[in-house]
Structure 1
Amino acid sequence: GLSDSEKSAVASLWEKIAPQTNKLGAESMERLFKNHPETKSFFSRFDISPGSQDLLTHGGKIFGALGEAIKSLDNLQKYQDLHTNKLKLSSDHMKLLSAAIIEVFTAHFGGEVNQAAWNKFLGEVGAILTSS
C-alpha cells in the first residue's frame, strides 16, 4: 500500500486535477494513442481525434474512477470488479495508460507531481483492475 506521505501527495495533486478531469483524461488518452498507436484499436467505436467528445467523455470516466479510488486509498480492493475485467484490459495496457497520465500531469503541474507516489498509486489500481 501507499505510505501516508504518498497518499497525501496523490490526494493534494488530485485537488488541482479534479476540476479538469474530462480535459486531462482526454489528453491522457491522446498521449496514449500518440505514444502507443496500437492502443487505438481498443477504441474503434470512438472518435479519437484530439479533443473529441468521445475522448472527453471516456477520459472523464477514467479520471472520475481515479477520483473515487483516491477517496478510498485505504480500500482499493473494492474496485476489483470494475470494467477492465469485462474488457479484458491487460496489465501492460494499464501501464501504458498510467505512463501517459503521469506525462500529462507533469506537463501541467511540473514539480508538484510526486511521480513515485503516482506510479505506485496507478500501479496498485492497475494491479487490482487487471487481476482476475
Structure 2
Amino acid sequence: MANLLHSILPEPRRPIVYVHPDVAVSRCVAMMVEDNIGALVVTDDENILGIVSERDIIRSLLYKGLSPESTKAYEILYADVSVLKETDTVEKAMEVMTVTRRRHILVTDENEALIAIVSIGDLLLNLLEDKMREIEQLENYIHTY
C-alpha cells in the first residue's frame, strides 16, 4: 500500500513559517536560518501568494544581481506552488516535484487548510526508511531458513 502524505508528516508538526510579501529578502534569509528551514510561505494575511525558497533567493540575488536589503519577498516568490492533499500519496508528491523541478510542496487537510510544507528531503527520508524496513524484513526472512 502506498504511503500517504499525512503519514510522513512529523509529530508534532513543524510550524509553518509565514512572511509578508513586503518583507526584505535579507529578513527572509534570517528567518530561514533561525528556523533551519528551506522555504517560507508568502501570505498577505488572507491569501497564500506563493513560497520563497533558498533556490529562489540564490537565483534572484546572485544571478539577477538584486540586493537582499531592497528586494522584497513578493519580487522573488514562486507563485505557481504545487498544493497536494494530505491524503495524496508520497509517490504523487515525488512525481509533482520531479515534473515541476521544485523542492517544496504545500499540503492541505480535508478542509483545504494549509498544514505543512513538504520538502524533497522529507520525501527522501521516507523513501530511505521504507527501504531500511524492507531490508530488515528480507534479512529476517532469510535468517528463518
TM-score after normalising by structure 2: 0.31
Structure with the higher fraction of residues in strand conformation:
2
Higher-Rg member (1/2): 2
Tell me: higher relative CO, structure 1 or 2? Use CA pairs within 8 A at least 6 residues apart: 1
